[in-house]
Amino acid sequence: MSIGSRSIKRKLDLRIRKEAQKSLRKQEQLLTALPASCLKCGCEFNKNEQSNLDSWTVSVQYEQNEVELICPTCNEANAA
């Protein structure tokens, strides 16, 4: 009994590790898929500008493996 439950835990452990690795890879994938411009108006996104990282809206489409970037201007227009 104890051997059995131990092996289940071990399997579960491996599974979680595998999942975590998968999602880490997914994160990397998504980061490289980061678009260079706003989805709506096409204005340029400067990755090196810290203020851009804070003000731009990033939305992750996990299923499509895509990242959408919306500039603050379009974001405000959207909210209005």
Between 38 and 67, CB nearer to Zn ion: 38
Between 40 and 68, CB nearer to Zn ion: 40
How many CB atoms within 10 Å of residue 71? 21
The beta strands (E) that lie in the chain are given as 57-61, 66-70
**CB of 36: closest distance to Zn ion in angstroms?**
13
Between 16 and 41, CB nearer to Zn ion: 41
Provide the binding-site residues for Zn ion, judged by CB under 5 A: 38, 40-41, 71, 74
**CB of 79: closest distance to Zn ion in angstroms?**
13
Q: Distance from CA of residue 30 to its chain's centroid?
A: 5
**CB of 55: closest distance to Zn ion in angstroms?**
11
Quick one: residue 42, left, alpha or beta (phi over 0 = left, psi -120 to 50 = alpha)? left
